[in-house]
Structure 1
Amino acid sequence: MLNRWTPTNTNTDIPRATASRPANRISTRQIEDGSYLRLKNVQLAYNFPDTILDKLKLRSLRVYATAQNFVTWTAYSGYDPEVNRFGQDGRSQGFDYGSYPAAKTLMFGLNVGF
């Protein structure tokens, strides 16, 4: 805001400081690259072999880890490049107005068959 428009500084591309229209309208000044690569759903599992199952007297044994929204690679400066301000409102899609980021979930489990 140091180089914003003022009556004495008219040679600038930064709008004047005001809360009234038209200065608070959405413009190309607020556009940035939202490209991203996300590891959204991943599951890693291991089924124990029959030799171990026989010793433990089990029919099946499986350990697993599941991750959702585990990592996102992006240069986007906001919380989440997959933004949508008000759900499915077509007029606001892609506008990040303080949207919450996607929650990260890690889950570990054990499946045992007797």
Structure 2
Amino acid sequence: MENISVAYNIPQEFLEKYKILNAKVFATVRNVATWSKEWEYGDPETGGLAPRTYSLGINLTF
């Protein structure tokens, strides 16, 4: 499993108080898992290292 991404749009009722037009919170995880007995945290296609990375963020529109 290479990527998992989730996003959430914050409701307009909450944003109106702060004069924000749109807001989205998101999270992504890359290199999540592999189902193999021989593989351990490397890239099976290239034989190199494939680190797990995490990203968090927010998109705002004023």
Name the TM-score class by shorter chain. Answer: 0.7 to 0.9
Q: What fraction of aligned residue pairs are identical, expressed as a percent?
A: 32
Q: 2:5 aligns with which of 43, 63, 83?
A: 43
Q: Greater share of strand residues, 1 or 2?
A: 2
TM-align CA RMSD: 1.9
Runs (5+) with no aligned partner, structure 2 = none
Contact conserved, 2:42 with 2:50, CA < 8 A, in 1?
A: yes
Q: Which has the larger radius of gyration?
A: 1
Shift of 1:83: 3.2
RCO comparison, higher one (Cα < 8 Å, 6+): 2
Q: Alignment partner of 1:109: what SS?
A: strand
Which residue identity lines up with residue 50 of structure 1 in the other structure?
Q
The total of aligned residue pairs comes to 62
1:108 and 2:56 aligned: yes
Runs (5+) with no aligned partner, structure 1 = 1-38, 85-98
- Superposition misfits of 4+ residues, deviation over 3 angstroms: 77-81
Q: Distance in 2 between matches of 1:53 and 1:79?
A: 41
Structure 2 counterparts to residues 65-84 of structure 1, below 5 A: 65-77=27-39, 79-80=41-42, 82-84=44-46
The TM-score normalised by the length of structure 1 is 0.47
